């Protein structure tokens, strides 16, 4: 095993180009577990922690450009307003120690369906900034996950940053685990209201081979909100709409039975989380809308 | 501390500070908070090698061949050993039955069984070499439960058994069977107005001690070996290790290293023999440290169990009879299974008075992971079932669940189903009263912080699953009975060497035992006992090793009782000798030397009237007094193999719990809000440690109620979750406040009236939580741990 | 490979480090600092918690090479670290300027302040407030989780001198303890906080 320590992003890309099998390591919270437990013996470890810019973010414009290695703790503390869904998801990641090290780049690189960031990214809308010596490209998050622990990166590419749309409305994230802290998701759900486009987006974690959106549920809800004039009148969403949304979210799952939970439970829980997060976000939206009206 | 019952008559030591009854602090506390305390995995030696174990990847198979050539040729590798390389004809070990091969021979019987061992200059070298050992298996059908174990033509897990249980078991795949028959349960059932039945399942729990199995073996010049090890019983290890090495016991010198928790998981050997074999083979020190993955295969677990119960009661709420069948899965090797069967059966009806009882308990041999000792030891599984039954029956009779228990509670003088009379306080009803009388925690505490729900105080916790939706509170009660000490005729003793001398102008007592300090605080208590008995301020506790006689096991809630008793006894003998010296040297100066009862207090010899006769410094001068003596508790007898009758137990320990839970009924997530406990401890030698033990035991019971389970694939008998990612134990956010009410009713047969305390709280905690969840959800819930699937109908 | 970094204020160097080794392994097996513990080696127990450039992390998940040039504080250096912080800020937990909050009353916390008579081993060692509180409150049993908990608790009190119970639980939710049931750990952290606010 060789340990490569590029001092700059350019050096990192060059190293990755030269050694496409090199395993990038930043927070180490996935890679080191595999090494400690002898599940993985990469020929090269590519340490990205010397590259300062990966731990930085820019919040100007429409989206936040989040460096791949910004620790979850920083996201929770500093980006709660711009990225509320991701901030909530970050808070559910493992433990304080892990949140101090791990970042979204690692979640994306590993592409485990159980990664906590995925549902929030899917719901908010995001693009993955992938780069190699050949150049840079933006991969829409919807196209990023290609299979169980597989993603759209080419062997010579590294994740430099994620561009996440700044919230234009309430977002929520909820995850089920069988412990009240430090737990891997049995399943997870992210929801973002986008009042500017009058759309909702969802993200489901750990309930299909990859993180997925519940597209039919989104379409149903978009139509229902539109038809009922909900975006304008700020009325309470009717229970039947919430229920149908939940049912469609459950239907978007394609889960398995494993040691963490049954497929049947995952479908059920995603439905419950979908209904609850819809209620929370919508109540929040109504509250904001009411205040705006009051001022006007 | 709570009310004191009949206080034992303690005169000696009442005037010495830091004696029994005070919350003195741990002598190893400073070392443990500075990182200087040397645990077994911290050992290091110049030139040491690292040992690695190759384990079976299948549960049940014949070993066709093992090829170690490539591993042995790996640079940096010093030795590779298999069964054929073992140095003597003794190639098996075991706590009671020597059925466990040091390295697999001919076949493997469970997933993760040691097949070969490697020593190399770096752990990675050792791992890579182990991976190069080629083992060819021919798989056999797996025995995974009672049906497959006793099916016609079932493969025998152990062929040609010659152990002392084979004569009375109905099938060779049954390790041991113990019936307990008293009165006529069938006849008594006819007089029952209400009968309830239930079938309960208890999952496989892991001790999950944090300090992994580890140790360092150093070859000695005399051909022997020094072993630094974390264990629960040095001499039991020694008895099993030495014959395999072909060494006399005095050439295997064992020293207890820091032990990072045990809870029963270190009663059996893990890497001890392997490290010694490699050290003797290579002539170099060898260190072995399991990682967490390996630890799940490296020690026995709590027996999973199937329990079938029938309880009956009259209209006025008196228990008429209990019938029960308890099937414990012992896994591939016997370990402590026979004794676990003895406990589960003899304590199978709980702390209640029932005249007509018919119980059968068995432990199976299967190809599942071996199971043995864990805190509560058979009594835990039974308590889960009989307490569920007591709730059911109270409901059927139409009585309050606590009142129903109190009505049927045993007390001093009651008979156990074994026919043994309980001859010390048994305040079962009182413990229930106390735990019920504690104030209930406020409702909806998650709102107390402000207008937003504090998810940390809700089911799901940080995962943000509810802001109060679907949350229902429930309350449940349970009480249990655990035996203290080794039962069934076992010669249960301990040894203490106590020395008293003047060092630097002050009298100092030195206590040397082989007691394994595993965190419970035995070392704290030994110093307190020495101060009380010898009236000195300064006590040195020697490291535990095999240079002193056996202390028995740190298990069965027995160490404070038995080794504490041995220390007390040796101190008394030392005191007598000191007084003899005093009489000899100074007797002529004061008549009280001959006439008064003399005590040692505050470094002086005083009369029971308080008159100072001499300073210990002047009595002893440069003489040292030393005594090493064994001490035993009252003898017990085996249970009759057909009826289970017999005075099998020494002492009992009782605890009651009230659990308050909040359940997210839609998602099936549970938050335990409070787990109140009332326990009788006889005499709290160190109140701070007592409460710490009760809270720790309570939390392990909580764990197996809602999350802890080793999941074994029934088709392959392979462990599916050997990691802390998927075997979950409670975090600080899963653990509630645990108010503890300590009752002190002395047991006059025990030193200072004390009662062993470590295990009882683990018993009642689990059924109390389950009862509270049932109360919140209205569901039946007949298995533990209860998972979200069981609460949402999605299993 | 060679790795060099600062541990507890002292420059340290290790040679022949295998590239897959963790910072934890290097500390324990190469630098003679076994205080950080190896309970799970998968970031699920917190026993190996150290401060890496001031931030609490699981040292089992830091590749040794990643520690190059960094500053590490382990439990062995905690007392010194707290003392220096105290000299610097006049406050041993580093956060004495903030006042108020709804921490536990001193009275309540000091229920556990009973002093032992015979800390016969290691007596006289200078301890940080959190270390002392863990001893006094009975928060140490087997002690294997203790080093990691101390680092985590000390860092929390540095940030948040008057934590609520829920704050303490959240901050320590990455540190498993199997012996105590956490109650006495809660007492210890409350005690350290209370002593700290009294000292101001």
Give a three-class secondary structure readout of B308-342.
EEEEEECCCCCEEEEEEEEEEECCCCCCCHHHHHH
**Residue ranges covered by each domain of chain B:** 29-37+493-632, 40-140+212-259+266-298
| Boundaries of domain holding C91 | 78-199
* Contact (Cβ atoms closer than 8 angstroms) between residue C23 and residue C59: yes
Percent of chain A with pLDDT over 70: 97
Q: Which residue of C has its CA nearest to B125?
A: C18
> For B452-479, how does the pLDDT look when each residue is reduced to its tens digit (9 = 90+)?
899 999 999 999 999 999 999 999 999 9
Over the stretch B335-351, which tens digit does the pLDDT of each residue have? 999 999 999 999 999 99
Residue B626 has pLDDT above 90, yes or no: yes
In the structure encoding, which two tokens stand for residue C83, read together? Answer: 């003392």
Least Cα distance to B652 among B463, B445, B413, B302 occurs for: B413
* Cα separation, C39 vs A295, whole angstroms: 57
CB A178 within 8 A of CB A186: yes
A52 contacts on C by Cβ (under 8 Å): none
Same domain? C65 vs C134? no
- Residue A291: pLDDT band (50, 70, 90) is low
What pLDDT was estimated at residue C124? 58
Residue A38 counted as domain residue: no
C199 touches chain A (CB under 8 A): no
Please, what's the largest Cα pairwise distance for chain C? 54
Give C-chain residues touching A55 at CB under 8 angstroms: none
Whether the predicted pLDDT of B2 surpasses 80:
no
Bridge-partner residues for B309, per DSSP? B198, B324
Query: Which partners does chain C have (≥3 C-beta pairs < 8 Å)?
Result: A, B
Say whether C63 and A25 touch across the interface (CB within 8 A): yes
Range of the domain at A242: 171-295
pLDDT for A219 equals 98
Torsion angle, alpha carbons of B96, B97, B103, B108, to 10: -130
**B515 close to B563: Cβ distance less than 8 angstroms:** yes
**For residues B365 and B363, what is the distance between their CA atoms, to the nearest angstrom?**
7
How does pLDDT run across A96-112, given as a tens digit for each residue?
A: 999 999 999 999 999 99
Q: Which chains does A contact via 3+ CB–CB distances below 8 A?
A: B, C
Residue whose C-alpha is closest to residue A152's, from A121, A128, A118: A128
What percentage of residues in chain B have a pLDDT greater than 90?
Answer: 97
Model pLDDT for residues C31-40, shown as the tens digit of each residue: 999 999 999 9
Higher pLDDT among residues B359 and B445, named by residue: B359
Boundary of a domain, candidates C73, C105, C121: C73
**pLDDT per position as a tens digit, C157-194:** 999 999 999 999 999 999 999 999 999 999 999 999 99
Q: Is the Cβ pair C140, B700 closer than 8 Å?
A: no
Q: Is pLDDT at B77 greater than 70 in this prediction?
A: yes
Q: How far apart are CA B239 and CA B409, in angstroms?
A: 42
**Which subunits count as partners of chain B given 3+ CB pairs below 8 Å?**
A, C
Q: Which of these CATH numbers, 3.90.78.10, 3.40.50.970, 3.90.1170.50, 3.40.50.300, describes B40-140+212-259+266-298?
A: 3.90.1170.50
A101 touching C, CB under 8 A? yes
pLDDT of residue B328: 98
> C187 with C130, same domain?
yes
CATH of the domain at C190: 1.10.150.120
Token pair in block for residue A73: 């703790």
> B326 near B383, Cβ under 8 Å?
no
Euclidean distance between CA atoms C148 and B648, whole angstroms: 44
pLDDT band, residue C92 (cuts 50/70/90): low
The verdict on residue A200 lying in a domain is yes
The three-state DSSP-derived secondary structure of B517-532 is CCCCCHHHHHHHHHHH
Q: Retrieve residue B305's tokens.
A: 């169990």
Pick from A32, A98, A181: CB nearest C22: A32
Q: Using the 3D structure, point to which of C50, C73, C96 is the last residue of a domain.
A: C73
Residue B335 CA to residue B176 CA, distance in Å, equals: 12
- Does residue C83 share a domain with residue C69? no
Q: What is the DSSP string of A42-101?
A: -SEEEE-TT-GGGG-EE--SSEEEEETT-BHHHHHHH-TTT-HHHHHHHHTSS-HHHHTT
pLDDT of the residue at B192:
98
Structure confidence by residue, pLDDT tens digits, A119-146: 999 999 999 999 999 999 999 999 999 9
Summarize the confidence of residues B278-290 as an average pLDDT: 98
Report which of A199, A231, A235, A233 is spatially closest to residue A217, judged by C-alpha positions. A199
Strand B286-289 vs strand B49-55: parallel, antiparallel, or unpaired? parallel
Closest CA of chain A from B190, distance in Å:
43
Residue B726: which of A259, A262, A268 has the nearest Cβ? A259
**Domain assignment of residue A70, yes or no:** no
Q: Find out whether A177 and A184 touch, Cβ atoms under 8 Å.
A: yes
Q: Which of B299, B175, B287 is nearest to B231 (CA)?
A: B299
Q: Does A56 touch chain C (CB under 8 A)?
A: no
Q: For B29-37+493-632, give the CATH class.
A: alpha beta
Q: B734 and chain A: CB distance < 8 Å anywhere?
A: yes
Query: Residue A296, exposed/middle/buried by CB under 10 A (0-12, 13-18, 19+)?
Result: exposed
Of C45, C119, C186, the CB nearest to B724: C45
Contact B694, B761 (CB under 8 A): yes
pLDDT for the residue numbered B7 = 36
Q: How far apart are CA B632 and CA B630, in angstroms?
A: 7
Least Cα distance to A97 among C186, C61, C39, C161 occurs for C61
Which segments within B61-113 are labelled E, that is strand? Answer: 61-67, 77-81, 92-93, 100-101, 107-108
pLDDT at res. B15 = 74
**pLDDT tens digits along A167-185:** 999 999 999 999 999 999 9
For residue B620, pLDDT over 80 is answered with yes
What pLDDT, on a 0 to 100 scale, did the predictor assign at position C106? 37
Interface test with B, best of A178, A250, A253 (most B CBs within 10 A): A178
Do residue C117 and residue C88 come from a single domain?
Answer: yes
Residue of A nearest to C174 (CA): A95
Q: Are residues C100 and C171 in the same domain?
A: yes
* Separation in Å, CA of B659 to nearest CA in chain A: 17
Compute how many other C-beta atoms are within 10 angstroms of the C-beta atom of residue B106.
Answer: 8
- Tell whether C145 and C190 lie within a shared domain: yes
pLDDT at C116: 33
What integer pLDDT is reported at residue B11 of this predicted model?
62
* Contact residues, chain A, for C60 at CB < 8 Å: 32, 36
Distances (CA, A) of B517 to B26, B200, B232, B526: 11, 35, 8, 11
Least confident of A239-243, B11-15, B599-603: B11-15
pLDDT value of residue B419: 98
Residues 6+ apart with CB under 8 A from B9: none
C101-158 pLDDT per residue, tens: 333 333 433 333 223 333 344 455 789 999 999 999 999 999 999 999 999 999 999 9
Output the pLDDT for position B9. Answer: 43
Do residue C110 and residue C179 come from a single domain? Answer: yes
CB-count exposure of residue C39 (10 Å: 0-12, 13-18, 19+): buried
Q: C38, C73, C108: which is the final residue of a domain?
A: C73
- The mean per-residue pLDDT over the stretch A231-246 comes to 96
Least confident of A281-290, B93-102, C88-97, C154-163: C88-97
Q: Which two tokens stand for residue B455?
A: 């998810």
What are the strands of the beta sheet with B493-503, ordered from one edge? B538-541, B506-512, B493-503, B625-632
SS3 C164: coil
Inter-chain residue contact C144 with B292, CB threshold 8 Å: no
The answer to whether the peptide bond before residue B580 is cis (omega within 30 degrees of 0) is: no
B381-391 residue pLDDT tens: 999 999 999 99
Q: Residue C51's domain is classified under what CATH number?
A: 3.10.20.30
Cβ–Cβ contact A36 with C under 8 A: yes
Tell me whether residues C170 and A181 touch, CB distance under 8 A: yes
Mean per-residue pLDDT of chain B: 96
In 3D space, the residue among B260, B329, B197, B723 whose CA is nearest the CA of residue B517 turns out to be B260
Instruction: Give B47 to chain A, closest Cα distance, Å.
Output: 23
Count of structural domains within chain C:
2
Instruction: Please name the residue of chain B whose CA is at the shortest distance from the CA of residue A189.
Output: B465
Nearest residue to C14 via CA among C73, C64, C62, C71:
C64
Supply the pLDDT for residue C43: 97
pLDDT for res C120:
41
What's the rounded Cα separation, in Å, for the pair C153 and C130?
Answer: 7
Q: What is the CATH number of the domain that holds A213?
A: 3.30.390.50
Does residue C94 register a pLDDT over 90? no
Q: Which residues of B touch C51 (CB under 8 A)?
A: none
Q: Which residues contact B535 (CB under 8 A, 6 or more apart)?
A: B12, B13, B15, B16, B599, B600, B601, B602, B603, B604, B616
* Residue B121 Cα, gap to closest chain C Cα (Å): 12
Q: Does C60 lie in the same domain as C93?
A: no
Our count of domains for chain A comes to: 1
Mutual angle of helices A117-124 and A84-91, in 10-degree steps: 170
Do A265 and A257 form a contact (C-beta atoms < 8 A)?
no
- How many residue contacts between A and C have a Cβ separation below 8 Å? 92
Q: Can you tell me the distance from the alpha carbon of A158 to that of A135, in angstroms, rounded to the nearest whole number?
A: 11
**Same domain flag for C110 and C66:** no
Residue position matching structure tokens 């002539």: B283
DSSP labels for B354-406? -SEEEEEEEEE--SSPPEE--TTTTHHHHHHHHHHHHHHHHHHHT--HHHHHH
- Minimum CA–CA partner of A4 in chain C: C65
């Amino acid at each position: 095993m060789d340990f490569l320590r590029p001092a700059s992003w350019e050096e990192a890309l060059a190293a990755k180009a030269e050694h496409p099998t090199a395993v990038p390591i930043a927070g180490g919270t996935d890679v080191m577990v595999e090494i400690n437990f002898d599940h993985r013996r990469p020929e090269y470890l590519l340490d990205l922690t010397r590259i300062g810019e990966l731990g930085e973010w820019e919040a100007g414009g429409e989206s936040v450009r989040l460096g791949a290695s910004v620790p979850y703790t920083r996201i929770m503390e500093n980006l709660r307003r711009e990225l509320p869904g991701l901030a909530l998801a970050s808070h559910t990641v493992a433990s304080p120690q892990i949140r101090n090290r791990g970042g979204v780049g690692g979640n994306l690189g590993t592409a485990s369906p159980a990664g906590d960031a995925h549902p929030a990214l899917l719901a908010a809308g995001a693009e993955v900034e992938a780069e190699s010596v050949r150049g840079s490209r933006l991969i829409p998050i919807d196209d990023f996950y290609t299979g169980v622990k597989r993603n759209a990166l080419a062997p010579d590419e590294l994740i430099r940053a994620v561009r996440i749309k700044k919230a234009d409305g309430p977002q929520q994230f909820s995850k089920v685990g069988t412990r009240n802290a430090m737990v891997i998701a049995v399943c997870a759900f992210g929801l973002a209201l986008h009042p500017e486009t009058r759309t909702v987006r969802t993200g489901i974690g750990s309930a299909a081979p990859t993180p997925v959106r519940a597209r039919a549920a989104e379409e149903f809800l978009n139509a229902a909100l539109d038809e009922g004039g909900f975006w304008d009148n700020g009325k309470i969403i009717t229970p039947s709409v919430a229920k149908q949304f939940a049912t469609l979210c459950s239907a978007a799952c394609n889960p398995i039975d494993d040691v963490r939970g049954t497929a049947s439970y995952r479908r059920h829980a995603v439905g419950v989380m979908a209904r609850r997060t819809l209620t929370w976000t919508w109540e929040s939206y109504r509250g904001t809308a009411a205040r705006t009206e009051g001022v006007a | 501390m709570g009310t004191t019952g009949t206080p034992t008559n303690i005169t000696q030591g009442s005037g010495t500070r830091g004696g029994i009854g005070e919350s003195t602090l741990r002598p190893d506390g400073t070392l443990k908070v500075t990182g200087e305390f040397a645990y077994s995995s911290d050992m290091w030696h110049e030139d040491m090698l690292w040992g690695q174990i190759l384990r079976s990847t299948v549960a049940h198979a014949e070993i066709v061949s093992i090829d170690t050539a490539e591993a042995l040729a790996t640079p940096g590798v010093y030795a590779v050993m298999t069964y054929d390389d073992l140095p003597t004809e003794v190639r098996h070990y075991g706590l009671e039955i020597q059925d466990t091969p040091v390295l697999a021979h001919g076949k493997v019987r469970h997933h993760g069984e040691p097949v070969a061992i490697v020593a190399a200059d770096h752990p990675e070298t050792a791992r890579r070499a182990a991976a190069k050992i080629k083992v060819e298996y021919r798989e056999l059908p797996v025995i995974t439960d009672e049906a497959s174990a006793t099916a016609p033509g079932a493969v025998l897990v152990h062929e040609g058994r010659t152990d002392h249980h084979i004569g009375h078991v109905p099938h060779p795949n049954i390790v041991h069977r113990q019936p307990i028959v008293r009165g006529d349960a069938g006849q008594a059932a006819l007089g029952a107005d209400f009968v309830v039945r239930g079938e309960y399942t208890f999952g496989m729990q892991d001790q999950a001690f944090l300090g992994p199995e580890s140790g360092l073996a150093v070859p000695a010049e005399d051909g022997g070996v020094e072993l630094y090890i974390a264990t629960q019983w040095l001499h039991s290890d020694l008895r099993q290790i030495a014959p395999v090495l072909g060494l006399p016991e005095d050439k295997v010198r064992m020293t207890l290293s820091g032990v990072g928790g045990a809870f029963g998981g270190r009663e059996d050997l893990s890497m001890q023999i392997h490290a010694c074999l490699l050290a003797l083979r290579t002539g170099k020190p060898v260190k072995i440290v399991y990682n967490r993955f390996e630890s799940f295969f490296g020690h026995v677990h709590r027996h999973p169990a199937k329990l079938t119960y029938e309880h009956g009661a009259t209209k006025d709420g008196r228990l008429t009879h209990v019938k029960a069948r308890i099937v414990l899965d012992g896994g591939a090797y016997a370990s402590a299974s026979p004794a676990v069967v003895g406990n589960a059966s003899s304590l199978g009806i709980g702390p209640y008075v029932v005249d007509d009882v018919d119980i059968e308990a068995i432990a199976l041999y299967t190809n599942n992971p071996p199971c043995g000792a864990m805190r509560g030891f058979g009594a835990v599984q039974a308590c889960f079932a009989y307490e569920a039954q007591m709730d059911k029956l109270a409901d059927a009779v139409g009585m309050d669940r606590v009142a129903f228990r109190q009505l049927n509670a045993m007390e001093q003088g009651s008979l156990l189903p074994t026919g043994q009379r309980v001859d010390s306080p048994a305040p079962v009803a009182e413990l229930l009263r106390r735990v019920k009388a504690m104030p209930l925690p406020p409702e909806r505490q998650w709102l107390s912080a402000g207008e937003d729900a504090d998810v940390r105080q809700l089911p799901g916790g940080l995962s943000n699953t509810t802001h109060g939706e679907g949350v229902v509170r429930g309350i449940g009660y349970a009480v249990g009975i655990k035996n203290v000490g080794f039962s069934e005729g076992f010669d249960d003793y301990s040894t203490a060497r106590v020395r008293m001398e003047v060092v630097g102008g002050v009298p100092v007592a030195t206590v040397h035992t082989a007691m394994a300090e595993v965190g419970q605080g035995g070392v704290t208590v030994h110093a307190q006992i020495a101060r009380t008995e010898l009236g000195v301020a300064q006590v040195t506790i020697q490291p535990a090793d095999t240079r002193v006689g056996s202390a028995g096991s740190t298990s069965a809630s027995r160490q404070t009782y038995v080794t504490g008793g041995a220390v007390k006894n040796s101190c008394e003998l030392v005191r007598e000798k000191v007084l003899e010296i005093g009489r000899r040297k100074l007797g002529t100066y004061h008549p009280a030397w001959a006439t008064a009862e003399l005590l040692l207090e505050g470094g002086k010899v005083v009369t029971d009237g308080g008159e100072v006769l001499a300073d210990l410094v002047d009595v002893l001068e440069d003489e040292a007094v030393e005594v090493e003596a064994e001490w035993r508790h009252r003898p017990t007898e085996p249970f009759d193999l057909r009826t289970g009758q017999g005075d099998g137990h020494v002492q009992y320990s009782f605890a009651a719990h009230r659990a308050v839970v909040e359940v997210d009924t839609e998602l099936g997530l549970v938050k335990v809000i409070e787990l109140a406990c009332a326990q009788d401890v006889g005499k709290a030698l160190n109140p701070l440690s007592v409460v710490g033990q009760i809270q720790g035991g309570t939390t392990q019971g909580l764990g197996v109620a809602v999350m802890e389970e080793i999941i074994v694939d029934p088709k392959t008998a392979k462990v599916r979750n050997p990691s802390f990612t998927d075997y979950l134990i409670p975090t600080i956010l899963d653990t509630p406040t645990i108010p503890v009410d300590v009752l002190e009713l002395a047991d006059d047969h025990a030193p200072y009236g004390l009662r062993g305390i470590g295990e009882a709280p683990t018993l009642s905690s689990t059924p109390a939580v389950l009862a509270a969840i049932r109360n919140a959800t209205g569901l039946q819930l007949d298995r533990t741990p209860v998972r979200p699937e069981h609460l949402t109908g999605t299993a | 490979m060679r790795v060099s970094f600062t541990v507890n204020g002292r420059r340290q160097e290790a040679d022949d480090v295998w590239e897959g080794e963790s910072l934890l392994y290097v500390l324990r097996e190469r630098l003679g600092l076994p205080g950080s513990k190896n309970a799970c080696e998968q970031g699920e127990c917190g026993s190996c918690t150290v401060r890496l450039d001031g931030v609490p992390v699981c040292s089992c998940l830091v590749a040794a090479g990643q520690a190059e040039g960094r500053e590490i504080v382990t439990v062995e250096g905690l007392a010194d670290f707290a003392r220096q912080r105290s000299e610097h800020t006049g406050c041993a937990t580093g956060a004495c300027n903030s006042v108020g909050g709804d921490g536990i009353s001193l009275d309540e916390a000091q229920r556990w302040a009973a002093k032992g008579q015979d800390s016969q081993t290691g007596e006289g060692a200078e301890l940080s407030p959190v270390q002392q509180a863990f001893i006094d409150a009975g928060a140490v049993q087997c002690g294997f989780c203790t080093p990691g908990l101390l680092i985590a608790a000390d860092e929390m009190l540095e940030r948040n001198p008057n934590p609520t119970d829920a704050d303490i639980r959240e901050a320590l939710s990455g540190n498993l303890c199997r012996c105590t049931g956490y109650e006495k750990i809660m007492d210890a952290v409350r005690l350290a906080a209370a002593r700290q606010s009294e000292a101001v």
